[in-house]
Amino acid sequence: MIHRQAWCRSRRKFLAQSAASIAAIPLTQVFGQQALGDNAWDLDRRLILASHLFEDKSFFDVGHYFRDLIPRSRQVDLWIDYAGNRTSRHFDEIRKRGFAATNAYCKQLGIRLSTATCYGSRGYAGYAEAIRDLGCTLCIQSSGKRTAGSITEMMKRELESYKPALELAEKYDCRIAIENHSGRHLLNDMDSFKAFMDLCDHPRFGIAFAPFHTQGRRESPEEFLRQCVSKVFYIYAWQQNPNGQTLAEKASGESQMPGVGPYDFGPLLQILREHRSSALISPFMHRATSSARSAELVRSAVSCLRKPDP
């Protein structure tokens, strides 16, 4: 395990090596510490937190975390359902209380449900009206599975299958992003990323990029992001636990978080900044032990993402 100071030293090394290409910009500005003018790329305004981090408590007891941990953004990624179509505790509570009452609660705290995550088979189309009524303007789904034929043929079929959902997204002013996954999922390797970028021209359809699922491949997470940055709507600041052997073990433990595990997110952030990307950035982990501990880890992660140690 690499602790925060060691991780941030790695960040400083990256910044020093990149100085030649950004010599006109003070290093303190690289990750949004100071304004760069009206068109500045501002990390703090891009941050978002998944409700998944705080599921040991009622949604109506954790709103202050979104307000206090990311005060300049206050955006929430509401997890609606999981693989297997099991709805989340938070969404069940929200449906029970009612969308109007939920919106009033969010308004009172000054937080915004901007994103919905729907990993079950119903996807965006199954919750489009609820997503609209809660004010979310982005929905994250998993990509489909690989089938027969070339990667180009598979991707064409995948994109074609999203036409009904994208028609709903047009109607309700939403966007859809598919997350890259491991195993037999279609959006998986570099060839599939290239096929997506070559074939997808819909302005409301993009990628939720998870560097977690690209680690251990021949190409680095940065190479994947460079390939698709213009279509990335959402990015997980999330890494594999280096002590894990199975996928479940790699997706367990606090080493998934920035500033705890060994991966340096600095190069990824630099790519986003260079492209003035509007992608939302989510410090993330699975299997959080408690909301209070998640808050501590998010606070440390945001600090490390924002700037190196003085």
pLDDT in tens, 36-53: 333 568 999 999 999 999
* Structure tokens that stand for 131 in this block: 């997503």
8 A C-beta contact, residue 156 and residue 198 = no
Q: How confident is the model at residue 3 (pLDDT cuts 50, 70, 90)?
A: very low
The residue ranking higher by pLDDT, 81 or 26, is 81
Q: Mean pLDDT throughout 3-21?
A: 42
Residue 18 pLDDT level (bands cut at 50, 70, 90): very low
Query: Helix H segments across the chain?
Result: 4-17, 43-46, 63-69, 89-97, 99-109, 123-133, 151-161, 163-172, 190-199, 221-228, 247-250, 266-274, 291-306
What's the pLDDT tens digit per position in 154-205? Answer: 999 999 999 999 999 999 999 999 999 988 899 999 999 999 999 999 999 9
Kindly give the pairing relationship between strand 232-237 and strand 205-209: parallel
213-223: average pLDDT: 94
CB 143 within 8 A of CB 181: yes
Mean confidence (pLDDT) of the chain: 88
Q: What are phi and psi of 150, to 5 degrees?
A: -75, 165
The answer, yes or no, to whether residue 13 has pLDDT greater than 50, is no
Task: Return the percentage of the chain with pLDDT > 70, whole number.
Answer: 86
118 vs 247, 255, 277, 296, CA distance in Å? 21, 25, 23, 26
User: pLDDT tens digits for 105-141?
Assistant: 999 999 999 999 999 889 999 999 999 999 999 999 9
pLDDT at position 307 is 67
Out of 18-22, 163-167, 197-201, 285-289, pick the least confident.
18-22
Report the C-alpha gap between 90 and 51 in whole angstroms: 8
Helix axis angle, 99-109 to 89-97, nearest 10°: 110
pLDDT exceeds cutoff 60 at 14? no
- What pLDDT score does 178 carry? 97
Average pLDDT over residues 263-282: 96
Residue 60 scores a pLDDT above 80: yes
Of 25 and 283, more confident? 283
**What confidence score (pLDDT) does residue 36 get?**
34
Instruction: Report the pLDDT averaged over residues 74-91.
Output: 93
The percentage of residues in the chain with a pLDDT greater than 90, rounded to a whole number, is 79
Beta bridge partners of 139: 116, 176
pLDDT digits (tens, 9 = 90+) for 228-261: 999 999 999 999 999 999 999 999 999 999 999 9
Q: What CA–CA distance (Å, rounded) separates 212 from 249? A: 12
Q: Going from the N-terminus, what domains does the chain have, and what CATH number goes with each? A: 49-306 (3.20.20.150)
In this structure, what DSSP letter does residue 249 have?
H
For the chain, helix (H) and strand (E) counts, in that order, are 13, 8
Per-residue pLDDT at 309 exceeds 80:
no
